[in-house]
C-alpha cells in the first residue's frame, strides 16, 4: 500500500470500476499519478476533467488525512495490488481498490463461506444456521463465516460461528470503526475478540446513502467462493447477494423452508428455478463446495517477522538493527523512503505489532 492507492479514492468522478481499469492499464497507483494527461485521456479513455484531477494529484491531501485516521483507529488499509488483499475479491471486476480492515487480516485468507438471509429471521431459520455452521466447524479448522452484521440471519451466522469457535468476518456499510445497527456493536466487539475482522470499503470521509448496502453485498459475495441463502422473502438484499455471487461464477446454495412460509419464498424460489443448490446439512455444503477435508491442515512453521513484511516495511525493520529507537528523520535516512511511504508503512507495522511508537515521535522495534 502506498499513499497513491488511497489518493485514488478521493479523485472526483473516478469510481471502483474506473480505478480497476486504470490499475489494469498502468499496473500500480504510482504509475497512474505519473502518467501524462494525454495518456490518461487517449489510452484509457478517461474523461478529461477526471484526468486533470489525477495529474494535479487532487487526492493526496485527503489520503494523508486518511492515513492518520486509520492509525488512530487501528484500521489497516490494503490495496488490491497488495499480497494481503483477499484473492477471491481480487478476481472481481468491480472490486474496491482499497479495503479497510479492523481486526485479524488472516481471517480473510481462511476457508470462507458467505451466509445471508432476512432480517426477520424465524426460529427455524436460526436453528438451520446453527446446524450448518456447527457441522462445518467440527470438520473444518480454518472455517470463516462471512456475513453483513445485520439483524436476523446475518447476526445469527456471526453468533453461531463464535459459539462453535469458528472465525467470522462482518462486512459493513459504515466507516470503520463504526458499525450499524448500533445494538450490534457488542457483537462486532466479540467478533474482534475471537480473532475475526470487520471490513468496509468506505473511507472516513464517505457520505452515507441508501446505495451503500447494495454495494456492500457485492463484497460479501466476492469474499467467498460460495454463498448460502438461509431465509429470504420474495425480494431483499440476500437475493441480490445471491445474484451477485452467481454473476461472479460462485456456488450459490439455499436452505429450503416451508411452502407456506413467506420468509422462505425467495430462497425456495432460488432452488425451484435452479439458481441455488438445495442444502440440508454441513456435508451438503462441503460436497457442493468441493472442499477436501481428508487432508491434514498444514502446520505453520515459526518464521522471522521480516519474512512476512512488504519491501518498505522490511527496510524499516532492518533500520533498527543499529539503533534501539529512531524518529522519522532517522528512518528516512536509513531507508530512503518518502514521507508518504514511511507514514503508510509505520501505520501498518504498528497495527501488526512489529514496532511501537514512543514519546517524541520515536519508534522502537518489538
What is the structure's pLDDT at 127? Answer: 92
For the four alpha carbons of 310, 311, 312 and 317, in that order, the dihedral sign comes to positive
Alpha helices in 164-304 (DSSP H): 185-193, 212-222, 237-247, 265-272, 282-289
What is the structure's pLDDT at 220? Answer: 97
Q: How confident is the model at residue 299 (pLDDT cuts 50, 70, 90)?
A: very low
User: Can you tell me the distance from the alpha carbon of 146 to that of 161, in angstroms, rounded to the nearest whole number?
Assistant: 10
Residue 235 scores a pLDDT above 90: no
User: Can you tell me the distance from the alpha carbon of 219 to that of 111, in angstroms, rounded to the nearest whole number?
Assistant: 16
What is the structure's pLDDT at 296? Answer: 44
Residue 302 scores a pLDDT above 50: no
Q: How confident is the model at residue 207 (pLDDT cuts 50, 70, 90)?
A: confident
Residue 1 scores a pLDDT above 90: no
Q: Decide: 103 and 171 in contact? Cβ < 8 Å.
A: no
Q: Decide: 9 and 203 in contact? Cβ < 8 Å.
A: yes
What is the structure's pLDDT at 347? Answer: 81
User: Can you tell me the distance from the alpha carbon of 114 to that of 224, in angstroms, rounded to the nearest whole number?
Assistant: 6
What is the structure's pLDDT at 297? Answer: 41
Higher pLDDT, 148 or 313: 148
Mean pLDDT of all residues in 204-225: 87
Q: Decide: 345 and 313 in contact? Cβ < 8 Å.
A: yes
- In the chain the beta strands, taken as DSSP E runs, fall at 76-79, 98-103, 111-116, 143-147, 167-171, 197-200, 226-229, 251-254, 277-278, 325-327, 355-358, 362-365
As a whole-number percent, the residues of the chain with pLDDT over 70 amount to 95
**Domains of the chain, with CATH numbers?**
3-79+92-99 (no CATH), 104-289 (3.40.50.450), 305-365 (1.10.10.10)
What is the structure's pLDDT at 258? Answer: 86
126: number of Cβ within 10 Å: 20
Q: How confident is the model at residue 219 (pLDDT cuts 50, 70, 90)?
A: very high
Lowest-pLDDT range of 18-32, 105-119, 228-242, 309-323: 309-323
SS3 124: helix
Rg (CA), the chain: 22
For the four alpha carbons of 11, 15, 16 and 19, in that order, the dihedral sign comes to negative
186: number of Cβ within 10 Å: 9
For residue 8, which of 80, 105, 112 has the smallest C-alpha distance? Answer: 80
For the four alpha carbons of 16, 18, 24 and 29, in that order, the dihedral sign comes to negative
User: Can you tell me the distance from the alpha carbon of 151 to that of 92, in angstroms, rounded to the nearest whole number?
Assistant: 27
The mean pLDDT of the chain is: 91
Amino acid at each position: 500500500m502506498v499513499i497513491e492507492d488511497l489518493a485514488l479514492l478521493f479523485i472526483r468522478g473516478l469510481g471502483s470500476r474506473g480505478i480497476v481499469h486504470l490499475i489494469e492499464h498502468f499496473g500500480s497507483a504510482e504509475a497512474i499519478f505519473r502518467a501524462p494527461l494525454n495518456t490518461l485521456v487517449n489510452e484509457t479513455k478517461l474523461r478529461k476533467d477526471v484526468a486533470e484531477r489525477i495529474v494535479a494529484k487532487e487526492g493526496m491531501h485527503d489520503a494523508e488525512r486518511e492515513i492518520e485516521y486509520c492509525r488512530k483507529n487501528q484500521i489497516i488499509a490494503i490495496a488490491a495490488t497488495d499480497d494481503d488483499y483477499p484473492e477471491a475479491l481480487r478476481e472481481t471486476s468491480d472490486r474496491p481498490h482499497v479495503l479497510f480492515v479492523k481486526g485479524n487480516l488472516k481471517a480473510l485468507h481462511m476457508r470462507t463461506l458467505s451466509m445471508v438471509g432476512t432480517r426477520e429471521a424465524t426460529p427455524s431459520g436460526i436453528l438451520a444456521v446453527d446446524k450448518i455452521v456447527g457441522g462445518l466447524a467440527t470438520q473444518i479448522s480454518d472455517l470463516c463465516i462471512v456475513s453483513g452484521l445485520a439483524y436476523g440471519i446475518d447476526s445469527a451466522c456471526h453468533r453461531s460461528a463464535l459459539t462453535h469457535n469458528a472465525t467470522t468476518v462482518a462486512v459493513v456499510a459504515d466507516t470503520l470503526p463504526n458499525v450499524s445497527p448500533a445494538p450490534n456493536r457488542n457483537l462486532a466487539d466479540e467478533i474482534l475478540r475471537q480473532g475475526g475482522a470487520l471490513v468496509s470499503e468506505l473511507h472516513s470521509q464517505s457520505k452515507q446513502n441508501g446505495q451503500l448496502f447494495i454495494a456492500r453485498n457485492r463484497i460479501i459475495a466476492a469474499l467467498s467462493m460460495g454463498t448460502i441463502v438461509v431465509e429470504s422473502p420474495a425480494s431483499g438484499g440476500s437475493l441480490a447477494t445471491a445474484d451477485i455471487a452467481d454473476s461472479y461464477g460462485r456456488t450459490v446454495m439455499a436452505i429450503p423452508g416451508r411452502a407456506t412460509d413467506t420468509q422462505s419464498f425467495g430462497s425456495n424460489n432460488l432452488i425451484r428455478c435452479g439458481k441455488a443448490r438445495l442444502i440440508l446439512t454441513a456435508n451438503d455444503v462441503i460436497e457442493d463446495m468441493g472442499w477436501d477435508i481428508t487432508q491434514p491442515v498444514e502446520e505453520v512453521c515459526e518464521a522471522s517477522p521480516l519474512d512476512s513484511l512488504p519491501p518498505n516495511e522490511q527496510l524499516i525493520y532492518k533500520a533498527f538493527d543499529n539503533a534501539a529507537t529512531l524518529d522519522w528523520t532517522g528512518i528516512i535516512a536509513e531507508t530512503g523512503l518518502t514521507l508518504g511511504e514511511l507514514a503508510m508503512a509505520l501505520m501498518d507495522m504498528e497495527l501488526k505489532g512489529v514496532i511501537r511508537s514512543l514519546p517524541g515521535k520515536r519508534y522502537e522495534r518489538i
